[in-house]
Amino acid sequence: MSSSIQKDPSSFRDPSGFIFEKDNIIYRQVNLCFKEHFDFFINSGCYKNLVHKKLLISHENVNENYTGSDGWYATLEPEKIPFISYPYEWSFDMLKDAALLTLNLVKECINFGMNLKDATPFNIQWLNGKLIFIDTLSFEKYNEQMPWIAYRQFCECFLSPLLLMHYNKIPLQPLMLAYPDGIPLSITHSLLPWKTRFSFHTHLHVHLQSSISINKKADSKKKVVFSKQKMLNLISSLEGLIQKLDQPIQKTAWSSYYEEASQRNQYLDQKKKLVTLWLNDLTDLADAIDVGANDGEFSKILSEKNIFTISADSDPYCINNLYNNIKRSDEKNIQPLIIDLSNPSPAIGVNNTERNSFLKRTNKDLVIALALIHHLAIAKNISFNQICELFNNLAKRYLIIEFVPKADDKIKLMLNEKPDIYDNYTIEEFEKAFSISFRIIKKQEIGKSGRTLYMMKKI
C-alpha cells in the first residue's frame, strides 16, 4: 500500500472492506470476498431506498484500485461527515434515536431480502442535523438458517446503557467508555433492579439472554429456522421496549444558567451583541466549537452565520435538551456532544489508535469559551498555562474567551466551599499565560459585569 494512503486504524475488524484516506479524501474499499452481498445490496434497490430515506450516507463509485490490493473489488467515495463522534459522547436521546435508526434499517432491509450484520453505534454519525448510518458494508443477504447475527451486539451496545440509565436515573456515558464494544449483558442483568425481571421484553432481551449465554453449550448444533416474520417480531419487540425508555428530567447546577444570567443587568444580552459584532469581522470561518455551551445559545449565533458548530458541555441533561430542540427545528449546523474539558474523551482501542481522542479529532477555525475559565481554573485546579494548551489544541485560528474576575459573585460562591489558594488567578496572569499561543485582537468589558471578553488569534 502506498505511503500516501492511510488506512483508518479503526477499520480492521471487517474482512468485507476498509476505510482509507488519500489526498485528504476518505474512501471505502470493498473487498472481493464481499462481492456477492455488495452487488445484491446495490442491484436489489436496497441502497437506493436507504439513501432516499436519508437513513444511509450516499457514495460515488471510483473506478480505481488506489490501495493496489489483490483482494480489491470496488472503491467508494462516501458522502463527507464533518465530525466523527462516539456514543460515549452522546446524550440519552441521541443514543435512543441511534438505536431506533438501527432497527428501522433492519426493517427496511428485509423488504429487499437483506439484513444488517453489524449493530454498533460507531456506525452512526451526525449529518445535516440528523443521525445517519455510515457503513455501506454492514448489509448482507438474508439467511433464514441463521438468527440475527448482530442481536447480542445490539442489546449490549444500545439496550444495556439505555435500560441502565432509564432505571437508575443517572447518566452513564463513562460506563460506555469503559465498555466500547457494549456493556455485557451479565453486568446489565446484575445492575438492573429486580422489578425488570417482570417486564416481558426486558426479561427476554437482557435477563433471559444473559442466562442462556452463561449456560450455552459450545458444541450445540441445533438447526435454526429464523424466518423474516420472526425477525420482524424481534425488531418490533426491541422497538416497543426502547420507545418507552427515557431519562428522567433532573435539575442540575446548569439547568437554569441562562435564565439566571439574563437577570444580571442585561449581561447576557450585552454578551450576545458583542459576540455577534465580533463574528461579523470573521467572514471566513468554516467551523467552530462552543465549549461549555450549556443549551447552545451562542452555538445558535454561529449556526445563523452558516458555521458548523460542535456544541459541547459536560452536563448530559443540557446536551440532551439541546439535541431535542435541534430535532424539533430545521437546525443543521449544530452537533451537540457531552464533553468534560477537564477529562475529554481519550484515545482508546487497539494500540490506543482505534478511536481518536476528542482533542485529536477537534481542530476548528474558532473556539468560543464563555463563562467557563473559572470552572476550569478554580473548580478543577487547572492552571492558566494548561488551559491555554487545551485551547491551542482545539483552535485552528481564533479564540473568543471570557475572563471572570475573582470578585465575581459566582467565584465567591465557589470559594465558600474551598480554601482560596488561587493567588495567580488574575487578569494579568491570564493574559500572560495565553500570550504564549495567542495574540489579543480585541478586549472589552461586558457591560458593568466586571467580566471581560477577548478575541484572540492563534500565533
Q: What pLDDT does 243 receive?
A: 98
| CB contact at 8 A, 234 and 91 | no
Q: Judge if 20 and 109 occupy the same domain.
A: no
Strands 287-291, 308-313: pairing kind: parallel
Q: What pLDDT does 224 receive?
A: 73
pLDDT digits (tens, 9 = 90+) for 176-212: 999 999 999 999 999 999 999 999 999 999 999 998 8
Q: What pLDDT does 225 receive?
A: 83
Q: What pLDDT does 160 receive?
A: 98
Average of per-residue pLDDT across 106-133: 97
pTM beyond 0.85, yes or no: yes
| CB contact at 8 A, 159 and 172 | no
pLDDT band at 37 (very low <50, low <70, confident <90, very high): very high
Which of the listed residues 208, 243, 278 is the one where a domain comes to its end?
Answer: 243
Q: What pLDDT does 53 receive?
A: 97
Does residue 21 surpass a pLDDT of 70? yes
Q: What pLDDT does 261 receive?
A: 54
Determine, yes or no, domain membership for 43: no
Q: Judge if 292 and 426 occupy the same domain.
A: yes
Q: Judge if 202 and 232 occupy the same domain.
A: yes
Q: What is the mean pLDDT of the chain?
A: 93
Q: What pLDDT does 362 receive?
A: 96
Does residue 258 surpass a pLDDT of 60? no
Quick one: how far is CA 27 from the chain centroid? 21
Angle CA 96–98–104, to nearest 5: 105
| CB contact at 8 A, 143 and 227 | no
Minimal CA–CA distance to 279: which of 391, 370, 371, 398? 398
What CATH number should be reported for the domain holding residue 452?
3.40.50.150
Average of per-residue pLDDT across 241-250: 89
Q: Judge if 385 and 282 occupy the same domain.
A: yes
CA dist 221 → 217, 218, 231, 299 (Å): 9, 9, 20, 56
Does residue 282 surpass a pLDDT of 60? yes
Determine, yes or no, domain membership for 252: no
Which of the listed residues 212, 243, 274 is the one where a domain comes to its end?
Answer: 243
Q: What pLDDT does 404 receive?
A: 97
Exposed / middle / buried, residue 222 (Cβ in 10 Å: 0-12, 13-18, 19+): exposed
Which of the listed residues 243, 274, 296 is the one where a domain comes to its end?
Answer: 243
Does residue 376 surpass a pLDDT of 80? yes
Average of per-residue pLDDT across 300-320: 96
Determine, yes or no, domain membership for 286: yes
Q: What's the sign of the alpha-carbon dihedral 325, 329, 333, 335?
A: positive
Q: What pLDDT does 419 receive?
A: 93
Q: Judge if 218 and 269 occupy the same domain.
A: no
Q: What pLDDT does 159 receive?
A: 98
317: how many CB neighbours lie within 10 A of its CB? 21
Give the containing element (helix H, strand E) for 5: strand 5-7
Average of per-residue pLDDT across 123-145: 96
Q: Judge if 15 and 74 occupy the same domain.
A: yes
**Higher pLDDT pick, 305 / 225:** 305
Determine, yes or no, domain membership for 44: no
Determine, yes or no, domain membership for 249: no
The rounded percent of the chain whose pLDDT value lies above 90 is: 90
Does residue 314 surpass a pLDDT of 60? yes
Average of per-residue pLDDT across 370-383: 96
Q: What pLDDT does 342 receive?
A: 96
Residue type at 270?
A: Q
Minimal CA–CA distance to 398: which of 312, 289, 262, 256? 289
The x, y and z cell numbers of residue 269, run together, are 444580552
Tell me the C-alpha distance between 394 and 345, whole Å: 13
Q: What pLDDT does 3 receive?
A: 65
Q: Judge if 346 and 411 occupy the same domain.
A: yes
Tell me the C-alpha distance between 306 and 123, whole Å: 26
Which residue range(s) make up the domain with 340? 257-458
Q: Judge if 206 and 166 occupy the same domain.
A: yes
Strands 139-141, 452-458: pairing kind: unpaired
Helix, strand, coil percentages (3-state) for the chain, rounded to 5, are 40, 20, 40
The x, y and z cell numbers of residue 77, run together, are 467515495
Q: Judge if 346 and 324 occupy the same domain.
A: yes
Listed in sequence order, the residues at least 6 apart from 221 whose beta carbon sits closer than 8 Å to its beta carbon are: none
Tell me the C-alpha distance between 418 and 411, whole Å: 11
Q: Judge if 387 and 341 occupy the same domain.
A: yes
Determine, yes or no, domain membership for 248: no
Tell me the C-alpha distance between 177 and 345, whole Å: 8
Determine, yes or no, domain membership for 444: yes
Nearest 10 degrees: Cα torsion 217, 218, 223, 225: 90
Q: Judge if 116 and 196 occupy the same domain.
A: yes
| CB contact at 8 A, 304 and 272 | no
Determine, yes or no, domain membership for 41: no
* Residues paired with residue 442 on neighbouring β-strands, in sequence order: 455
Q: Judge if 65 and 134 occupy the same domain.
A: no
pLDDT band at 7 (very low <50, low <70, confident <90, very high): very high
Does residue 257 surpass a pLDDT of 70? no
The x, y and z cell numbers of residue 246, run together, are 427515557
Strand ranges (E), 370-429: 395-403
Tell me the C-alpha distance between 280 and 269, whole Å: 17
Q: What pLDDT does 330 receive?
A: 84
Does residue 430 surpass a pLDDT of 60? yes
Does residue 12 surpass a pLDDT of 80? yes
| CB contact at 8 A, 122 and 155 | no
Average of per-residue pLDDT across 277-299: 95
pLDDT band at 271 (very low <50, low <70, confident <90, very high): very high
CB burial string 424-444: b at 16+ within 10 A, e below: ebeeebbbebbeebbeeeeee
Average of per-residue pLDDT across 398-407: 97
Average of per-residue pLDDT across 31-42: 98
Average of per-residue pLDDT across 121-141: 97
The total number of structural domains that make up the chain: 3
Does residue 305 surpass a pLDDT of 60? yes
| CB contact at 8 A, 393 and 359 | yes
Q: What pLDDT does 254 receive?
A: 52
